[in-house]
Amino acid sequence: MSTIRIPINLSHEPFRKDRPILVASAVTAILLTVVLVMLATIILREREAARESRELMARLQSQLNTINAEYASLESQLRLPANSAVLHRSAFINALLLRKGVSWTRLFADLEKVFPGSVRLVAVRPYITGDNLIQLDMVVGSQTPEPVIDLLKRLENSDLFGATSLLSSQPPSQNEPLHRYRLSVNYAQKL
């Protein structure tokens, strides 16, 4: 005879396997607590860094305000009528010193490298631009226009000279047998 087993549960609630769920919940709670502590630490560090940055900015701003006040005081003192003549003379002397900084020997040696033999240099005047760059204002002459065109190409292709512009031209006359051209060219000599 075979026996039939009938499962009988005498408790009020059925048996459940809650242990894995409880363990997983505890591990999740611990991980979330660790993440919370890490985030709180990061926030506090960032808050401290921001406070230090604000303090540094405030110190720098106060230094800048002090320097600006000193500058304004000196500027107003320089603009007084008694000091105005000295300021203008100083600016004039500085401009002369910059112009004297151009080496004429080196300038002519550099021009000699790029000038074709049939082109004559009639006049040259260097001047300093606002960017402390040298610009040459030149008058050149030749029997025909072709050598001047060659000169323009050589100037623009040179490492020492740069952008070249033709400002004016004059045909030969009874007094002057050469074609004359007025040029402006950048010059890369260091001051």
Q: Is the pLDDT of residue 79 over 70?
A: yes
Q: Is the pLDDT of residue 110 over 80?
A: yes
Q: Are 169 and 149 in contact (CB under 8 A)?
A: no
Q: Are 118 and 149 in contact (CB under 8 A)?
A: no
- Burial (CB < 10 A; 0-12, 13-18, 19+), residue 148, is buried
Q: Give the pLDDT confidence of 2-38 residue by residue, as tens digits.
A: 677 776 666 666 666 778 889 999 999 999 999 999 9
172 compared with 13, residue with greater pLDDT: 172
Instruction: Report, at the CATH architecture level, how domain 102-187 is classified.
Output: 2-Layer Sandwich (3.30)
SS3 10: coil
Secondary structure of 68-132 in HEC code, one letter for each residue:
HHHHHHHHHHHCCHHHHHHHHHHHHHHHHHHHHCCCHHHHHHHHHHHCCCCCEEEEEEEEECCCC
Q: Give the pair of three-digit tokens for residue 159.
A: 């490492």
Q: pTM for the full model?
A: 0.48
Q: Give the pLDDT confidence of 39-50 residue by residue, as tens digits.
A: 999 999 999 999
d(CA 191, CA 95): 12
